[in-house]
Structure 1
């Protein structure tokens, strides 16, 4: 027998077909009911556990689904008259569960008109929709923050650049650093980025062949997305300044970088240190590079403010030292 793309072999026993359909309905988290034109129940399959029909009770919408939902279903079904008429109803059944009722008038093989209702558990669908909406809101929020950072970088870089070429060179480098940090954040499902990964990105980009001259010690702290973006930018400025104005490459004197977590009365704190040796170089040029420039603004003002911390940035005859201390943020 073939009917609307449905086929089965008449010779097969009905019990096998019944078992097949009931198993399929259970796997689909679906319930199927059939009523005659007067509303009398003919068949009920795989009723959800929350709705029970007591033994000896005549099936009805109110007896199965309770007075409130039973009344709503009765009113919905009353509007279905001829074959093809259909209506849908979605309800929140409590305990954060959702069900969809699809009612339709159908004409059976004997020309008898019946009312078929399919009940689908939509709980997981609705939870996924809520999660997707939350993620979209988070994307929008983070995108706005990222655009604000980019706007600030562009504005301040232009302010401290004498020529268009100088602006483009510095801006592209800072934008790339920001992009790399964002990649780490995205790869971690927006949890953040590890400190050593942020440092490695900048070392690999600017001193890849001499990466052994940057020594890192301490704890590999997972930083929140906000902290990751700004600290990644600070590390970019420190590495670029070291390569452009320092002499650690020529003298093969390593830079010491550390990250540690410690407790205070105000809660856990994170301390990041950058200690760069300096030798017989032009101190005035190095001092000019590390002060009164956007790089200095990033290190001394932008980054500490963005992570609610404090920073020191000092240069003497022996070393350039940068230290950033900020509270450890709580992951959302």
Structure 2
């Protein structure tokens, strides 16, 4: 059994892989990561340089799509922002990060989106990996906290007046 530890990053995290030594273990790792994506509500999409979908995992609305462009049910402006980010990543090889708000029946849904280049062995960009994470609840908590702080500030000023 072999153990391989990745380099510690500045954030103190480690990309450590322990006891990965057979094809069966790789299959188990793949299944476990798919479960983790599902449980965390993370959607991942891989597209080639021409933006044709190669594979997608855990795609839920608004990302789920029957169309080849994989823009799902997104409003045109947001779909164009994501498309522009993907084209920039293919052209430059540098990652992009977006925060999108998407109208929904129950208000606005918020998403963090990362677009990363997939480089071949020669360093050329062969595709893009797009990762989408819904942050709506976090945004709602932040808004509630801002409202509470504003109210506390207002009441404090009234008490001091």
1:134 paired residue among 147, 158, 161: 147
Q: What's the counterpart of residue 24 of structure 1?
A: 36
Q: Which has the higher contact order (CA 8 A, sep 6+)?
A: 2
1:11 aligns with 2:25: no
Q: Where in structure 1 do 4 or more consecutive aligned residues deviate above 6 Å?
A: none
Q: What's the counterpart of residue 82 of structure 2?
A: 73
In the TM superposition, what are the counterparts of 1:275-294 in structure 2 within 5 Å?
A: none
Measured after TM superposition, the shift of residue 112 of structure 1 is 6.0
Q: What's the counterpart of residue 99 of structure 1?
A: 111
Q: What's the counterpart of residue 87 of structure 1?
A: 96
Aligned length: 143
Task: Say which SS state the counterpart of residue 10 (structure 1) adopts.
Answer: coil
Higher Rg: 1
Task: Say which SS state the counterpart of residue 156 (structure 2) adopts.
Answer: helix
Asked if 2 retains the 8 angstrom alpha-carbon contact of 1:61 and 1:70, the reply is: no
Measured after TM superposition, the shift of residue 143 of structure 1 is 0.8
Task: Say which SS state the counterpart of residue 77 (structure 1) adopts.
Answer: helix
Task: Say which SS state the counterpart of residue 61 (structure 1) adopts.
Answer: coil
Asked if 2 retains the 8 angstrom alpha-carbon contact of 1:86 and 1:102, the reply is: yes
In terms of fraction of residues, the more helix-rich structure is 1
Pair 1:23–1:109, CA change in 2 (3 A): farther
In the TM superposition, what are the counterparts of 1:1-332 in structure 2 within 5 Å?
A: 5-7=15-17, 9-13=20-24, 14-54=26-66, 57=67, 59-62=68-71, 64-66=72-74, 68=76, 69-80=78-89, 81-83=91-93, 85-95=94-104, 96-107=108-119, 113=125, 114-148=127-161
Aligned partners of 2:75, 2:157: CA distance in 1, in Å?
49
Aligned partners of 1:97, 1:67: CA distance in 2, in Å?
12
Asked if 1 retains the 8 angstrom alpha-carbon contact of 2:98 and 2:114, the reply is: yes
Pair 1:108–1:26, CA change in 2 (3 A): farther
Task: Say which SS state the counterpart of residue 119 (structure 1) adopts.
Answer: strand
Pair 1:6–1:112, CA change in 2 (3 A): farther
Measured after TM superposition, the shift of residue 122 of structure 1 is 0.9
Measured after TM superposition, the shift of residue 109 of structure 1 is 5.9
Q: What's the counterpart of residue 305 of structure 1?
A: none
Asked if 2 retains the 8 angstrom alpha-carbon contact of 1:31 and 1:120, the reply is: yes
Pair 1:111–1:20, CA change in 2 (3 A): farther
